[in-house]
Copies of this chain bind each other. A is one copy, B any other.
Amino acid sequence: MSTAKAAVLVGYNQPLEIREYPIQTALSPGEALIRVEMAGICGTDVHLWKGELPVPLPVILGHESVGVIERLGEGLIRDWRGQPVSVGDRVTWASSIVCGECFYCRVKRQPTRCIARKAYGISYSANDAPHLRGGYAERILLRAGSSIFRLPDSLPAAAVVGAGCALTTAIHGIERCPVEWGDTVVVQGTGPVGLASLAVARQSGASRIIVIGGPPHRLELAHRFGADVAIDFSNTTIEDRRKQVMAETGGYGADVVIEAVGIPAAVNEGIELPRDGGKFLVLGQYANAGNIEFNPHIITRKQLEVRGSWGFEPRHVDAALRLLELGNWAELFAGQITHRFSLQEANVALDTVKRWQSGKAVITPHA
């Protein structure tokens, strides 16, 4: 096979097109050619599709994927963890590559804010060779310097893609805004980032986790992931929810509140939910969705700690894969996948995610 099909975003709010690209046969040192087994549809893909983040169209979407190594460039003999890799191994990879040399990479050790960061499925034009830089495709060609992780046989692709970049994002966020054992936690949002945050909070020993979200099929997922209380966003007011959180936390509010909604108004709701001296992680405001009316007096008066977190680093992929080997997380995250689509159905897939109908939707290009 000398070409690979891919689902390509050619214009905002337009259907993805299936295009065919040549597969580069001669790999440069450090590169890897991967046969994509499964690619997740991330909420960010919907934002990209709507044109809410600037990308160099046309773009092959897909930044959370699992595949099988088909060809390895010279010198690529170990994965990020130092394990040997060879053709035929199942792998996943960090979506981003950073420069390792800028102020943020070096001096401040905040590589997620690298000034030259590029992400598969987001930052590469499919017009430019080698074209295949996104997961919605039969093949993806990984650059030298990619952070590749060989998967243990016991870990199915569905668990890894079901966790997706939501889990790595949640791990990074909670690293920056830690949940300590015994903490009471509120998670705003029951999308993939909300459920992943719930999982990390649970694994961190939270004593009581209150989730605010919907629709019902996602609240049910939240219960399965270990939420103690799940409040339906659709049939309650902000004040109802605030009162319920207070009732569940002795009248004071939670130790940690994690915003994983992505709608700016969620920040107004969320900042009222920590106890005084508590923490508020603003994790979901990845896209710029505009302003809110906000009272900064709350931050001083409640002496809050408000933290932001952007994306993740390869070491958070390592941590995510380790979490999937604990308890029954692999099963739970795999179970989040409710919809599987072919490459040709990529538009239906995006639309399913856009309309919140799925737990998690994936594309299986070769199924």
A205 CA to B325 CA in the complex, in Å? 13
A204 CA to B180 CA in the complex, in Å? 7
Identify the closest chain B residue to A80 (Cβ): B106
Cβ contacts A280-291/B at 8 Å (1 or 0 each)? 001111111111
A338 within 8 A of B: no
Q: Please indicate the chain B residues that have their CB under 8 angstroms from the CB of A176 in the complex.
A: 303, 305
Beta-carbon contacts under 8 Å, A99-133 to B: 100-104, 106-110, 112-113
Q: Is the CB of B293 within 8 A of A297?
A: no
Q: Find A200's partner among B181, B267, B295, B310 (CB 8 Å cutoff).
A: B181
Q: Find A297's partner among B204, B277, B287 (CB 8 Å cutoff).
A: B287
Q: Is the CB of A308 within 8 A of B315?
A: no
A203 CA to B204 CA in the complex, in Å? 7
- Interface on chain A toward B: helix, strand, loop, or mixed SS? loop
Q: Find A302's partner among B203, B291, B308 (CB 8 Å cutoff).
A: B308
A355 within 8 A of B: no
- What is the interface size of chain A, counting residues whose CB is below 8 A from a CB of the partner? 70
Q: Is the CB of A103 within 8 A of B300?
A: no
Cβ contacts A249-264/B at 8 Å (1 or 0 each)? 0101000000000001
A357 CA to B275 CA in the complex, in Å? 39
A284 CA to B296 CA in the complex, in Å? 10
A82 within 8 A of B: yes
Q: Which residues of A line the B interface, CB within 8 A?
A: 78, 80-82, 100-104, 106-110, 112-113, 176, 178, 180-182, 200, 203-205, 207, 250, 252, 264, 267, 275-277, 282-310, 314-315, 318-319, 322-323, 325-326
Extra inter-chain contacts (17) besides given A107-B318, A301-B310, A303-B309, CB under 8 Å: A81-B103, A81-B107, A112-B303, A113-B276, A113-B277, A113-B302, A204-B204, A207-B325, A264-B295, A264-B296, A264-B297, A286-B301, A287-B297, A298-B308, A299-B306, A303-B310, A306-B308
